[in-house]
Chain A
Amino acid sequence: MSDFLQYLISGLAVGCGFALLASGLVTIHRVTRVVNFAQGMFAVVAGLTAGSLLSAGLPHGLAEVAAVAVAGAAGLLVGLIATGRRGTSAQSALIVTLGLGFVAYAVEIMIWGDNPRSHPGLGGSVQFAGAFVQKQSFLVIGVTAVVFAALWLFFNRSYPGKALSACASNPYAARAVGIDVTRMGLVAFALGGMLGGTAGVLLTPMLPISYNSDVLLITNGFAAAVLGGLNRPGPALAGALVLGVAEAMVAGYYEAAYQTVVALALMLAIMIWQSSRRTALQEETAR
């Protein structure tokens, strides 16, 4: 029972990381209709940057925030390259983000090498109903809850959130009412970068990351985001938590090596199920 609880909570924490990554995908897709395959890179860049800043002597908190800002800048850069030219289609932008993800590998290896790295998070663990749970898990869960609440308020209750949503809903009409759709898309990319970066900074103490960790992250984040048609943060959160817990159970009771397989299988199952419905993703590929 205590094992189960331990797997459950660490699974929820990892799932929250996936959810943050997925929320970045959702934010970018919602505004620009671009599926950003460079999303995992934001997490990797932020995780590795935070580690470097901490070893350079920056205090906790500051290092993490700076790393998230760096990821936001990376997001802006990806947005500029992928969507900066007027009239770029969402599909060609998707291919550009995929390419940028691979370019980032080279840059990351140049800066940080190719070994997995980690940095200390909130150290120690607490005993909780007989299970030992890393404090970092609670931090991840707490931050995710706050971020999702803020996202909900932003998109549903604030005027700029409405303007951002208007771009995705009808870019043609959005331009007619004076919204600079390209610029709003860049805002979304920067925000998506920061969300991905937050995931990276929080997950790295639990799962050491290297340049190619983005595959695991994007696989899970994408699977979760697809559950909400790439447009709704709520279902993405639910999907990410299911994935996180399922993988923690597989790793705990069977074999850690199988957990990516589980993620991929679940993602395929979700996509096959979703493709029988009319989803944003389907519209994307049909256009």
Chain B
Amino acid sequence: MSAVLRIESVSRAFGGVYAVRDVSLTVAEGETRAVIGPNGAGKSTLFNLISGHLVPDAGTVSYGPRGQWRRIDGLPPHARARLGIAIVFQGARLFGGMTALENVMVGAHARTRHGFLAGALRLPGQRREEAEIRADALAALERVGLREWAHRAADVLPLGQQRSLQVARALCARPRLLLLDEPASGLRAAEREALAQLIEGLREEGLTTMLIEHDVAFVARLADRVSVLDLGAHIAEGTPEEIRADEAVLTAYLGEGVS
């Protein structure tokens, strides 16, 4: 399988403390990659280095959908979004004062062709595009089970639904690489199941997904491969079965009750 993301010797420190230290990993096209590790292992930092919200102190991040490789570690986040990288943050990072549907529609910004003026003047081409985006946004809401919330204010949604709304917003961008930072936290059992099925569906469609998750059963079910971070270092990588048997991983998790 060809690769889509290559991270080489990436480090990032905050105030002299390494959050991510000399991490190298490669993600294959169409793969679902879980990133696990104890709290403070640097998982979210790693995602932010991929999305561009953080810049590495050292190392390179290269992105190559369909073999078109380019270094992206110098690009700002909006430029990376336009290359097809979408992220769902751990916290509820929604656009307040807008409906759920509008939030998802803004998610399509990365692939809009029509410029600012066309939108402000509501030129015909832009209106057509806006109608398409609206349809896509409704479909994305349907997919995460929020169709009936479309016209409600996004900030009144329960926390779990706000996360799902972020997933819909990311899907509306039609990404090539989807980063999900603990998408299942705060969800009830039925909602977790729905999310798992959604992620499975995305894998069947060939979408490359990276997933930060604590729940071992969830990871074992969804992930093709697992990367384990501990204290900023990439200590192990393999299939979920291999990782379960890995000595270094067990040591890292000791005391967390995971076996």
Contact = CB atoms under 8 A, between A and B. Distances in A.
Interface of A: 86, 154, 158-163, 165-166, 169-170, 172-181, 187
A163 B93 contact: no
Interface residues of B, number: 36
A173 B116 CA distance: 19
Prevailing SS type, chain A contact patch: helix
B86 A176 contact: yes
Contacts of B51: 176
A180 B78 contact: yes
B95 A173 contact: yes
Prevailing SS type, chain B contact patch: helix
Contacts, number: 86
A234 to B, nearest CB: 13
A176 B94 contact: no
- Nearest first, the 4 A-B pairs at minimum CB distance are A178-B110, A178-B81, A175-B77, A160-B119
B176 to A, nearest CB: 13
Contacts of A172: 53, 89, 93
B102 interface: yes
Contacts of B87: 176
Nearest to B108: A177
A158 B122 contact: yes
A237 to B, nearest CB: 18
A173 B94 contact: yes
Contacts of B119: 158-160, 163
A179 B111 CA distance: 10
A165 B166 CA distance: 17
Interface in B86-122: 86-87, 89, 93-98, 102, 105-111, 116, 119-120, 122
A178 B78 contact: yes
Given A175-B52, A175-B53, A177-B81, A162 B173 contact: no
Interface of B: 51-53, 76-79, 81-82, 86-87, 89, 93-98, 102, 105-111, 116, 119-120, 122, 126, 130, 133, 166, 169, 173
Given A158-B119, A159-B130, A172-B53, A177 B97 contact: no
A266 B146 CA distance: 46
Nearest to B96: A169
A163 B109 contact: yes
Contacts of A170: 93-96
Nearest to B179: A176
A173 B77 CA distance: 10
Nearest to A150: B120
A157 to B, nearest CB: 9
B31 to A, nearest CB: 22
A250 B95 CA distance: 43
Contacts of A173: 89, 93-95, 166
Contact of A166 (B76, B79, B106, B173): B106
Contact of A177 (B79, B96, B169): B169
A177 B109 contact: yes
A164 to B, nearest CB: 9
B156 to A, nearest CB: 15
Contacts of A163: 106, 109, 119
B98 A165 contact: yes
Contacts of A161: 120
A173 B89 CA distance: 8
Given A166-B106, A170-B93, 9 more contacts: A161-B120, A162-B95, A169-B95, A172-B89, A173-B94, A176-B53, A176-B87, A177-B107, A178-B81
A159 B105 contact: yes
B125 to A, nearest CB: 13
A161 B130 CA distance: 13
Report which residue of A160, A170, A177, A187 has the largest number of chain B beta carbons within 10 angstroms of its beta carbon.
A177
20 contacts: A86-B76, A154-B120, A158-B122, A159-B130, A160-B120, A161-B120, A163-B109, A169-B94, A172-B89, A173-B89, A173-B93, A174-B106, A175-B76, A177-B107, A177-B109, A177-B110, A178-B81, A178-B110, A180-B78, A180-B79
Contacts of B166: 173
A163 B106 CA distance: 6
Contact of B95 (A159, A166, A187): A166
B105 A162 contact: yes
A69 to B, nearest CB: 15
A47 to B, nearest CB: 26
Contacts of B79: 180
B172 to A, nearest CB: 9
Contacts of B86: 176-177
B97 A175 contact: no
A174 to B, nearest CB: 7
Contacts of B94: 169-170, 173
